[in-house]
Structure 1
Amino acid sequence: MMINKRLINEMGDTKKYIGLQILLQWIALICNIVMVFILSNFLQNVIVQKEINSTEIIKIVAVFLIVICVRHFVLCKEAMYSGESSKVVKTKLRHMIYDKLLKIGSKYQNKFSSAEILQVTAEGVEQLEIYFSKYLPQLFYSLLAPLTLFVIVSFISIKTAIVLFVCVPLIPISIIRIQKFAKKLLSKYWGSYVQLGDHFLDNLQGLTTLKVYQSDEFKNNEMNIDAENFRKITMKVLTMQLNSVTLMDLIAYGGSALGVIFVSMEYMAGKTTFAQSIAIILLAAEFFIPLRLLGSFFHIAMNGMAASEKIFKLLDIEEDINIKRNNEESTILNEENTIIGKDIVFGYEKDKNIIKNISFEIPKNAFVSIVGESGCGKSTLASLIMGYNDINSGELKIGNSKIENITSEERMKLMTMVSFQNYLFKGTVRENLLMGKDNLEDDKLLKALKSVNLYDFFMNQNGLDTKLAEQASNLSGGQRQRLCIARAFLHNSDIYIFDEATSNIDAESEEIIISLIKRLKSEKTIIQITHRLANVLESDLIYMMDDGKIIEKGTHESLMEKKGRYEKMYNAQRELELYARGGEF
């Protein structure tokens, strides 16, 4: 009946609330039973015996009101504990997901899209909230209520009690039968839902590009197809829900009717009194109402189970460090922090390697450039050094420590990557800079702005309190990149990786960034990933990549003397630049 032990154990704080809800629901049931017996005895006195006085009426009304008040109180408390359970589940699950994303970094992108993460975190958690606050308490109460009623009714009419009790399991049996079909259907539902959300987010983020290339109509039609597929699967889910509700109603009403028939026969045979017969008739439905209500929560619970599978799939992604540290291998980085790669192989998919058996060495405080044409594996190699992805085979070490033995926190302190698509958050310039290192004084933040030639620009506005729009859309591309580099400098790590940091920006910004990189090389380890060879002339070492392999290495001068791929690429780029300026090669 959809009991996920791992899920319940993870949400251990909810167990006490679930237990209290079950207890309070059971007390409310006892109140119902008391009211039924009060009412049935009252009716017997009025209709059969026709003997009742005003004092007895007052007593009956008083007791009835007290029972109603008690029932109202316990149901209010039950609703309160349901709310507490919901709060615990939502808070804990979202914290677990967020903490996991912080630990695995960009690794989640290999298995999940951003839209899928958002949907699981938002709607998926909401479905599990109902699973804990409604479904689980109702499940256990649905087992307790028929047993309680069976014991009480059996003292009046054992045959009727058995008939009613035997009909009760038909509802969970029908739920179990439906569950097999529903699980597959809801899996398709979530798949379609995620695909629709994924395409919607992708189209929304690229809306400007779609308009520029007038491809919005094509994407609109694509979205319409996804929406129609989602509509169809949603209708199938609703049809399944309505059919199962109809089936459960037939069982519930049929079972109640059967109980009424049997107690009527008992009354006709003189085996039960009028009051007892009325009580059983009124209580017959109570045998089935809890399980009938459970059935209405069943579909939500199934959705929650489907969501939990995706949540646990995310939570089970291997983290940056998943080893038992031992005395044989120290994870403390040595003072040299030399980066050494040996026979490294990596691919996002099996049998499709992007990095193919490469070896390299990047000494401390060296200025090393990794160059090559687009798609040769430069950025992938940078992501391996940063630990964003795990190598398939080979060895990658920083100092004395293998990259897989270095925690995410240690790596983030040791290395900073500046790419062409760094993110700036909506807020002030100060808030974005303090992400590099918190608790810095304003003078250090202003110094960082001066280093990237943004000081005058921001001081002519509101200084460090200048507001940035979403993704800093109120800045130019060059200004955004320079602000990201200022934030990276404040981080003050030992190793900096610049991955196409000068792509798609103006010449002035490119010149400022290159001069900053050159200034840093005397005190930091600099790894520059670029396809523009004019920016690598002063590198201490250059690695030329092609098709996932390092095909050449050396200084600019030595590589030019080899007359190999590097020399041809450099001359071709220089010729194009001279031609663009109207010069001669």
Structure 2
Amino acid sequence: MIKTRLIKLLSHSKKYIIYTVFWQWISLLAQITAVFTITDLLGYVLNNTLTISHLKSTFLLLLGVIVIRYTCERMSARTSYLASVDVKRILREKIYDKMLKLGASYNEYVSSSEVVQVSTEGVEQLETYFSKYLPQLFYSLLAPITLFIILSRVNLKASLVLLICVPLIPMSIVAVQKFAKKLLSNYWSTYTGLGDSFLENLQGLTTLKIYQADKMKAEEMDQESEKFRKITMKVLTMQLNSISVMDIVAYGGAAVGMTIALLEYLHGHINMQGTLCIILLASEFFLPLRLLGSFFHIAMNGMAASDKIFKILDIPEISSGKEVLSDHSLDILFKDVHFSYEENREILKGIDMTLPKNSFISLVGESGCGKSTIAGILAGKNRGYTGDITIGGTPLKDVNEEDLMKHILLIRHNSYLFKGTVEENLRMADPHATKEEMKAVLEKVNLLGFLNSQDGIKTKLLEKASNLSGGQCQRLALARALLKKDVSVYILDEAASNIDIESEELIMNVIHELAKTKTVLLISHRLANVVKSDHIYFLQDGQIKEHGSHTELMNQNGAYKHLYEAQMALENYGKEGTV
């Protein structure tokens, strides 16, 4: 059970497999030497020719055998360990490199939980496959041939019978493999599905508690866990049954060989010493393959895991291009752009839009109209669009992704803040930023005063900065964005949403100041925030229904005006006429 592509992928680890087999083979030769030495000693005893010299030589030989086998065991364990380390390093590097090549849009092709599971449990299975199964496979082929060559000189008939019985074990393995392959494929699918559910429920645990839906989700996970338990038990049952079959074949074959050796002895075709050698070494024909059989489920798991790994490695890579953006002219142009997340569900339906350099452009519209999709396309997160998008005259598809990330920065309302300190989070934007520069951007977003009451930029943050308020988190994310140098285009996707009015005003003041020197694309559900925009695009059902300045749109007396007036009426409700 060897997958050629897998061997080629991990070609660097082949040398450790060879070393492991070599040390196992030397250990076998030492064991054969020990058996022949002991049977020779018994022969001297039976013939009454035993001398002190025989005892001394036997003792020294056996001592040497013990030293050799101990050394071989140590070296075999070491090379096996080196193989496992090498395999884990290479595979995880390959998966990580693939994620880097897929870039920001990787989650369009594979879920994060599947990548994590394959990189951990899947790689662990292949580590055992390389460090245990493959060396044992090659040794299982070498050992019976070595024993046959040596024992055939003692008695050809008994040795030949033992050698002929050896292939019965791999035949039984092949028979089990046909059933096991489908079973283990289902096992891995169930395992990754359970992992997806667990990760999702863990991340949404607070929401589940709020809606008291945690019990329902726990019951669903119980059902998935029960399904996983059942298929795991099927795998274990298959493994135990295959081991039982291999035990019968192995020990049955050894018994046949021993019987033939005894018959040969009774017919006078072999002496007592030769008979004992064959009896003592008969099981060695089968034990390597028997041990290989116990690794069979590991090999099958490894094959199933490799399928998952190759599924990820085979994801087509969309070239990010080689073009570098100019710092002088970064006008952005959308022409008849279409995009679909799923077949038959078009999100963008022919978008035409212009973002001149150093302009303040806003995208507005009801939820689900495609605003965030446009932001994702510009930031390189959503690929597979049709139509033309150019940045400074260069097609977006031809722009190098690293250079795109350098010039265009996407800030969402839930931008991720990492566990650590405020300084560590800020340094992600500029590793060489001075403390004065960090304090300056914190001052701009009115966060420095609060942090100074704590530990300043050394203030520790919990996971997702859960020890800060929502407004503070969004202001810190904006400060980090402001610290990033060379950014030409800022995309703010609801960066001032779901927070208090005071925080919203602070963030909008920063955005207005930023729009004086940078291109700003603001996506906002609150139309009061976009009034000062140079140009506003109103999206509806994936299409731009209206566009222009706030005054122009109000004069059109269309959907924008109706939505704006509805929002203003709602915000002003109760403010007038109160006593």
Q: Same fold (TM over 0.5)?
A: yes
Q: Whole-Å Cα distance in 2 between the matches of residues 404 and 141 of structure 1?
A: 52
Alignment match of 2:503 (pick from 509, 517, 521): 509
The residue aligned with 1:17 is 16
Counterpart of 1:449, as a letter, is: L
The residue aligned with 1:4 is 3
Unaligned runs of 5+ in 1: none
- Aligned CA RMSD, in angstroms, stands at 1.7
The residue aligned with 2:60 is 62
Counterpart of 1:57, as a letter, is: L
1:525-536 to structure 2, matched below 5 A, reads 525-536=519-530
State whether structure 2 residue 369 is matched by structure 1 residue 369: no
The residue aligned with 1:233 is 231
Say if 1:199 and 1:358 are closer, same or farther in 2 by CA, change over 3 A.
same
Q: Whole-Å Cα distance in 2 between the matches of residues 431 and 9 of structure 1?
A: 41
- TM score, norm. by length of structure 1: 0.95
Aligned residues: 577
1:162-173 to structure 2, matched below 5 A, reads 162-173=160-171
Say if 1:79 and 1:104 are closer, same or farther in 2 by CA, change over 3 A.
same
Counterpart of 2:49, as a letter, is: E
The residue aligned with 1:81 is 79
Unaligned runs of 5+ in 2: none
State whether structure 2 residue 411 is matched by structure 1 residue 418: yes
Q: Secondary structure at the match of 1:346?
A: strand
Q: Whole-Å Cα distance in 2 between the matches of residues 480 and 204 of structure 1?
A: 21
Q: Whole-Å Cα distance in 1 between the matches of residues 476 and 343 of structure 2?
A: 39
Query: In the alignment, is the contact (CA less than 8 A) between 2:13 and 2:87 conserved in 1?
Result: yes
Query: In the alignment, is the contact (CA less than 8 A) between 1:341 and 1:359 conserved in 2?
Result: yes
Q: Secondary structure at the match of 1:271?
A: coil
Query: In the alignment, is the contact (CA less than 8 A) between 1:334 and 1:400 conserved in 2?
Result: no
1:565-580 to structure 2, matched below 5 A, reads 565-579=559-573
Q: Whole-Å Cα distance in 2 between the matches of residues 356 and 140 of structure 1?
A: 59
Q: Whole-Å Cα distance in 1 between the matches of residues 293 and 464 of structure 2?
A: 46
Say if 1:194 and 1:581 are closer, same or farther in 2 by CA, change over 3 A.
farther
Counterpart of 1:23, as a letter, is: F
Query: In the alignment, is the contact (CA less than 8 A) between 2:362 and 2:521 conserved in 1?
Result: yes
- Higher mean alpha-carbon deviation, 182-191 vs 4-13, is at 4-13
Query: In the alignment, is the contact (CA less than 8 A) between 1:345 and 1:394 conserved in 2?
Result: yes
Q: Whole-Å Cα distance in 1 between the matches of residues 36 and 169 of structure 2?
A: 27
Q: Whole-Å Cα distance in 1 between the matches of residues 129 and 336 of structure 2?
A: 49
Alignment match of 2:97 (pick from 96, 99, 107): 99
Q: Whole-Å Cα distance in 2 between the matches of residues 560 and 159 of structure 1?
A: 102
Kindly state the Cα deviation for residue 582 of structure 1 after the two structures are TM-superposed: 4.9
State whether structure 2 residue 177 is matched by structure 1 residue 179: yes
Kindly state the Cα deviation for residue 400 of structure 1 after the two structures are TM-superposed: 3.0
Alignment match of 1:430 (pick from 423, 433, 438): 423
Q: Secondary structure at the match of 1:347?
A: strand
Kindly state the Cα deviation for residue 322 of structure 1 after the two structures are TM-superposed: 5.8
The residue aligned with 1:197 is 195
- Higher mean alpha-carbon deviation, 70-79 vs 403-412, is at 403-412
Q: Whole-Å Cα distance in 2 between the matches of residues 177 and 30 of structure 1?
A: 32
- Higher mean alpha-carbon deviation, 353-362 vs 455-464, is at 353-362
Alignment match of 1:50 (pick from 48, 66, 80): 48
The residue aligned with 2:516 is 522
Counterpart of 1:538, as a letter, is: K
1:311-326 to structure 2, matched below 5 A, reads 311-319=309-317, 321=319
State whether structure 2 residue 386 is matched by structure 1 residue 393: yes
The residue aligned with 1:281 is 279
Kindly state the Cα deviation for residue 13 of structure 1 after the two structures are TM-superposed: 2.1
Say if 1:220 and 1:583 are closer, same or farther in 2 by CA, change over 3 A.
farther
Q: Secondary structure at the match of 2:573?
A: helix
Moved over 6 A (4+): none
Deviation digits for residues 206-237 of structure 1 (CA, Å, limit 9, x no counterpart): 22221221111111111111111111011001
Counterpart of 1:541, as a letter, is: H
- Higher mean alpha-carbon deviation, 498-507 vs 301-310, is at 301-310
Query: In the alignment, is the contact (CA less than 8 A) between 1:320 and 1:408 conserved in 2?
Result: no
Q: Whole-Å Cα distance in 2 between the matches of residues 144 and 582 of structure 1?
A: 93
Alignment match of 2:120 (pick from 119, 122, 137): 122
Counterpart of 1:517, as a letter, is: I
Query: In the alignment, is the contact (CA less than 8 A) between 1:428 and 1:466 conserved in 2?
Result: yes
- Higher mean alpha-carbon deviation, 85-94 vs 22-31, is at 85-94
1:288-327 to structure 2, matched below 5 A, reads 288-319=286-317, 321=319
Say if 1:539 and 1:40 are closer, same or farther in 2 by CA, change over 3 A.
same
- TM score, norm. by length of structure 2: 0.96
Q: Whole-Å Cα distance in 2 between the matches of residues 49 and 70 of structure 1?
A: 30
Counterpart of 1:338, as a letter, is: D
Deviation digits for residues 157-212 of structure 1 (CA, Å, limit 9, x no counterpart): 22222221122112222222222221211111111111212211211222222122
Deviation digits for residues 449-468 of structure 1 (CA, Å, limit 9, x no counterpart): 10111111111111111111
Q: Secondary structure at the match of 2:490?
A: strand
Deviation digits for residues 403-425 of structure 1 (CA, Å, limit 9, x no counterpart): 22222211111111100111111
Q: Secondary structure at the match of 1:574?
A: helix
Say if 1:209 and 1:289 are closer, same or farther in 2 by CA, change over 3 A.
same
Counterpart of 1:341, as a letter, is: F
The residue aligned with 1:216 is 214
Counterpart of 1:307, as a letter, is: A
- Higher mean alpha-carbon deviation, 456-465 vs 94-103, is at 94-103
- Higher mean alpha-carbon deviation, 98-107 vs 207-216, is at 98-107
The residue aligned with 1:447 is 440
Kindly state the Cα deviation for residue 334 of structure 1 after the two structures are TM-superposed: 6.6
Q: Secondary structure at the match of 1:19?
A: helix
Q: Whole-Å Cα distance in 1 between the matches of residues 138 and 260 of structure 2?
A: 28
Q: Whole-Å Cα distance in 2 between the matches of residues 491 and 319 of structure 1?
A: 28
Say if 1:282 and 1:243 are closer, same or farther in 2 by CA, change over 3 A.
same
Query: In the alignment, is the contact (CA less than 8 A) between 2:363 and 2:539 conserved in 1?
Result: yes
Alignment match of 1:158 (pick from 131, 134, 156): 156
Query: In the alignment, is the contact (CA less than 8 A) between 2:105 and 2:380 conserved in 1?
Result: no
Query: In the alignment, is the contact (CA less than 8 A) between 2:325 and 2:404 conserved in 1?
Result: no
Task: Give the fraction of aligned pairs with identical amino acids, expressed as a percent.
Answer: 50
Say if 1:260 and 1:580 are closer, same or farther in 2 by CA, change over 3 A.
farther
The residue aligned with 1:561 is 555
Kindly state the Cα deviation for residue 332 of structure 1 after the two structures are TM-superposed: 4.7
Query: In the alignment, is the contact (CA less than 8 A) between 2:325 and 2:391 conserved in 1?
Result: no
Query: In the alignment, is the contact (CA less than 8 A) between 1:425 and 1:470 conserved in 2?
Result: yes
Query: In the alignment, is the contact (CA less than 8 A) between 2:320 and 2:399 conserved in 1?
Result: no
Query: In the alignment, is the contact (CA less than 8 A) between 1:333 and 1:400 conserved in 2?
Result: no
- Higher mean alpha-carbon deviation, 23-32 vs 36-45, is at 36-45
The residue aligned with 1:26 is 25
